[in-house]
Chain A
Amino acid sequence: MSAVAAPDSPSPAWAPQPTIEVRAVSKWFGQKVAVSDLTCAFGAGVTGLLGPNGAGKTTLLRMLVGLLSPSDGAVAVLGRDPRRNPAVYRSLAMVPEEDAVYGFQTARQFVRYAATLSGVGTGAVQHAIAAVALEDAADRPISGFSKGMRQRAKVAAALVLDTPVLVLDEPLNGTDPVQRAHLIAAFRRLGAEGRTVVVSSHILAEVERMADRVLAMVDGKLAAAGDVAAIRRAMTDIPFRVRLETDDPHRLAAALVGSAAVTSVAVQGRGLTVETADPAGLGRAVAPLARSLGLRLSLFEPEDLSLESVFRYLVRGR
């Protein structure tokens, strides 16, 4: 039986058939509120937890795995509170953000140690090391590893447990582009196998490449949930951004300020960025306006509907 009740109405923050459930969870440290009244759930596939530094991502993840207790609310992993049931760690693995490695061990010893402590066979150690492309360095002490190699050793120590639930806190920190692509492919593969994979990051492009679903956190609160396009659609009040370039951006900006289609204008170098709720209307209006001012319009380009644009809006709006 689930220890945490699902919300009454369907919510994009609540995954169907969840393996991790978070209900009305808050966490505060003294006067500082790190997570505030957050309800969400995670199910099969890769879920990206996105937010700037200090958004509360790490605090939330540490509550998910039982390293922190919620000040209020409840967390359940596979129906159990991890703080009361260490046995849940047979099904749950985490890659913490901090350098949780033993420098005096080799990567192979470290992964084997993780397997031994978790009561799983050590037969999968080599496979886990290969999954993060660390074979060449597997028998070197971790103390001599770069940040990216340490990250991969930590990921291998989580993969060796072969758990249905994986929580990864900024697992790509310090990795180079090749390593990053390798790890992203590995996470996607795990999600495709039906495992619950929760990955936090403050780098938007990473989350876009990894996650089927995104939860965006700002100031300890859930700012948005869903896939990237769904978040965008749900936030109908987000102005579209259009990049314009002209030979006199200040004059064009001044003329655009009074236009009904324009929400805001910012001049940047030879161009200007216009925010509008009606991009088609702006398109119809801007060319005649430029002509009437005697200006040459060299660029009219809607900015990409990337997660980054959504995220910037979310962060700015708070």
Chain B
Amino acid sequence: MRAFAALVATTLRQQLGGRRLLLLLALGLIPAGVLAVLLAQERTAAGAVRAFHQAPLPILFFVVLPVASLVLGAGALGDERRDGTLSFILLRPLPRTMLAAAKLLGAWLAALSVAAIGAAAAGLLLGARFHEWGALGPLLLAVALSSLAYTSVFLTLGYLTARAVLLGLVYVFVWESGMTSAIPSLASVSLMRIGLSAYGRGGIEDLLGVVRPGAGGALAKVAVVAAAAVAAVALLLRRRDVT
């Protein structure tokens, strides 16, 4: 357990160190900034929530979350491989499944901290100005599930290829933002929509497409994605050469 905690803590420190954190925090606060501008012209709580759904929410889920999860998820093992420290963690008497789970947890907490600060800032704006506090809890849950789903995929990608960020951006902007929006039947396999479905509030049907809102379904699907990622990464850690 001490080893697991040490791995998670070091991954967090590794991923959130230096200028990267400042850049990601600036990115994370963009939705709140956009919301602040939109709220300046709103007079009612319903209008404020509509404004939030109109632009800040899509920015948060289509841009902030995937980019933060991509950078931090792909880096969790990719940075270890690039920096030569992968051998340091592999030469330990630890089950590979535990290594994979610890790296995923560390990367997820890093991505979540960035995205949650942005989401919380937006939620606090709604609450402070219009006493609309009902959105904050579901929003944070959806952010947590979305970032876990994305981080799971990008952790695996980061270990598979040195071009994970490039491929991840293609995935985010071509698949998630493009194809699953253009072809309704594909929405059900969109990580963004699966996570966002946990938000569960009305007014985002256009964003969700065919995905039904509900925290339970989102939680189950994301758990499957995360478990599959841990299994895949553990298998790769056992099988792949570290050159």
Contact = CB atoms under 8 A, between A and B. Distances in A.
* Chain B interface SS verdict (over half): helix
Interface string A87-117: 1111011101011111011000000011011
B10 A65 contact: no
Contacts of A86: 92-96
Contact of B94 (A66, A92, A100, A117): A117
Q: Categorize the interface residue count of chain B.
A: 20 to 34
A101 B89 CA distance: 11
Contacts of B95: 86
Given A90-B93, A119-B3, A62 B242 contact: yes
A100 B243 contact: no
Given A102-B14, A102-B85, A67 B93 contact: no
Interface in B62-80: none
A118 B85 contact: no
A118 B93 contact: yes
Contacts of B7: 117
A93 B91 contact: yes
A102 B7 CA distance: 12
A160 to B, nearest CB: 12
A99 B83 contact: yes
B170 interface: no
Nearest to B5: A116
A118 B241 contact: no
Contacts of A205: none
Given A86-B94, A88-B93, A93-B91, A102 B243 contact: no
B191 to A, nearest CB: 30
Nearest to B242: A67
B93 A87 contact: yes
Contact of B6 (A93, A96, A113): A113
A92 B93 CA distance: 9
A147 B243 CA distance: 21
Interface residues of A, number: 31
A185 to B, nearest CB: 25
A83 B241 CA distance: 10
A3 B131 CA distance: 70
A118 B99 CA distance: 12
Contacts of A94: 87, 91
B91 A69 contact: no
A68 interface: yes
A83 B238 contact: yes
Interface string B224-243: 00000000000000110111
Nearest 10 Cβ contacts at the A-B interface: A98-B84, A89-B93, A67-B242, A117-B92, A100-B88, A116-B6, A100-B84, A68-B241, A90-B93, A96-B87
Interface of A: 29, 62, 65-69, 83, 86-90, 92-94, 96, 98-102, 104-105, 113-114, 116-119, 157
Interface of B: 2-3, 6-7, 10, 13-14, 17, 83-85, 87-96, 238-239, 241-243
